[in-house]
Structures are given as C-alpha cells and as structure tokens.
A and B are shown apart, each in its own frame.
Chain A
Amino acid sequence: GQQLNQSPQSMFIQEGEDVSMNCTSSSIFNTWLWYKQDPGEGPVLLIALYKAGELTSNGRLTAQFGITRKDSFLNISASIPSDVGIYFCAGQLNSGGSNYKLTFGKGTLLTVNP
C-alpha cells in the first residue's frame, strides 16, 4: 500500500526558533492533513490542504500542498514550549469507494527547550 516518509523523526529546538518538517510519498494524494498529538491525547487536526500548490496558515503554523501532489511541509514559526508533541502528516486520495482511507506518516517528535 501507499507509504509516507515523514522527516525528521525528531527535533530538539530552542524556544523562539522556527521548525520545518515534511512528508513525501511515492504516489499522489488529493488531500494532505497535518495533525498534532499531545501526550495522553488523540491527534488534533491543525491544517487541511485540498489543492496542489495551496499554502495555508493557522496562526504560527503554515503548511503547503506540494505542486506534484506527492509532498507537503509544515512550518512552525517562533516556537513556544506548548508546541511540544508529535506531528503527523496524512494523505488522502478521495477516489473510488475508499476515499475515507488516510495514509499516515510515522510522526515527528518535537521538543522545545525553554
């Protein structure tokens, strides 16, 4: 099946720094989603991207849907301690009878040092 390569696996940064993470796929997606998971909680949707080339912001977060439809990145500007968590990308094909299937990356563990 489809697989997503999410990188980096983990990041250790200082408060105030900018962060960038990305996901790549060998096949195309029609939708890219970025989720954040805090310890002991479920993933929470951060940004949804529906069109190739789309650039969307949510506060200090910015994500882009790659023009090839095979990749996406998430940037976090001016990081703060509460940005700590695991960030997941997910791709969705939205075709045929199985458009509900999401392919998830393995996640990027972000640690922010105050």
Chain B
Amino acid sequence: ETGVTQTPRHLVMGMTNKKSLKCEQHLGHNAMYWYKQSAKKPLELMFVYSLEERVENNSVPSRFSPECPNSSHLFLHLHTLQPEDSALYLCASSQGLRGQGISPLHFGNGTRLTVT
C-alpha cells in the first residue's frame, strides 16, 4: 500500500465505549497529525507528533488520547465521547518539522465517527 491508510473507515460507538482509530503512513515521513473535520467548519488540528514525540496538543479534551509508537503509526484512543464529537477524523503525515523545510501534508481518507 502507498500513502496514508486509516482504519476503520466508519465507526459507530456509544458514549460509554472505548475504541481506537489507527493510521499508518507508507511515505517515509517523520511527522504525523490528527485533524477533526466537522461540517461547515475549517479543519481543526488536534495533535502533532514529530519523531514519535508529541509537539502539539491543541486544547483537545482528555477523552481523546493519541499514541505514536513509531514514525509510521499513529493511534487515537477514544473513551466516553460525546455526540458532538461525531465528525470525520483525518490523519496526515509530512516530512520535516520546525524549520526543516516542512513538506505539504498528505492526508488519509479519514474515519467517519458517529457517537450515539
């Protein structure tokens, strides 16, 4: 596979469930991102990892917990979510960070999350 792969593509969960979103990039990039896409709103940056180190936590509630075990994999662990958390969650990767000549982001196809 090439590019950025996200699983699952669709997820329906209750407010008491615990689930995880997975992202894998095959581009050799060293930075990975989680974005939230809601209807009629700009893409919202949630988390950024550079070389497996979290460099950004954009005031995201603690019910979202990211994990980056290596530069190719990124997870978003979900627990006790609210209905307003329903959205498309996009993973992205890039090469370079912080003045190293960052490349444009490459996005996965997202996970459509519905919280009931």
A: residues with CB less than 8 A from B are 4, 33, 35, 40-45, 48, 88, 90, 92, 94, 97-107
- Cβ contacts B59-95/A at 8 Å (1 or 0 each): 0000000000000000000000000000000101010
Contacts of A107 in B (CB 8 A): 42
A42's partner among B4, B55, B97, B98 (CB-CB below 8 A) is B4
Q: Inter-chain contact count A-B, CB under 8 Å?
A: 58
Give Cα A54–Cα B31 distance, bound, in whole angstroms. 27
Q: Are B98 and A97 neighbours in the complex by a CB distance under 8 Å?
A: yes
Q: Are A100 and B104 neighbours in the complex by a CB distance under 8 Å?
A: no
Give Cα A35–Cα B56 distance, bound, in whole angstroms. 23
Q: Are B42 and A4 neighbours in the complex by a CB distance under 8 Å?
A: yes
**Range for the number of chain B residues in contact with chain A:** 20 to 34
Q: Are A42 and B94 neighbours in the complex by a CB distance under 8 Å?
A: no
- Closest Cβ of chain B to A34, distance in Å, is 10
- Closest Cβ of chain B to A83, distance in Å, is 19
Q: Are A45 and B98 neighbours in the complex by a CB distance under 8 Å?
A: no
Contacts of B97 in A (CB 8 A): 99-100
Known: A33-B105, A43-B90, A44-B107. 6 other contacts (CB 8 A): A35-B107, A41-B110, A42-B110, A99-B102, A100-B55, A105-B42
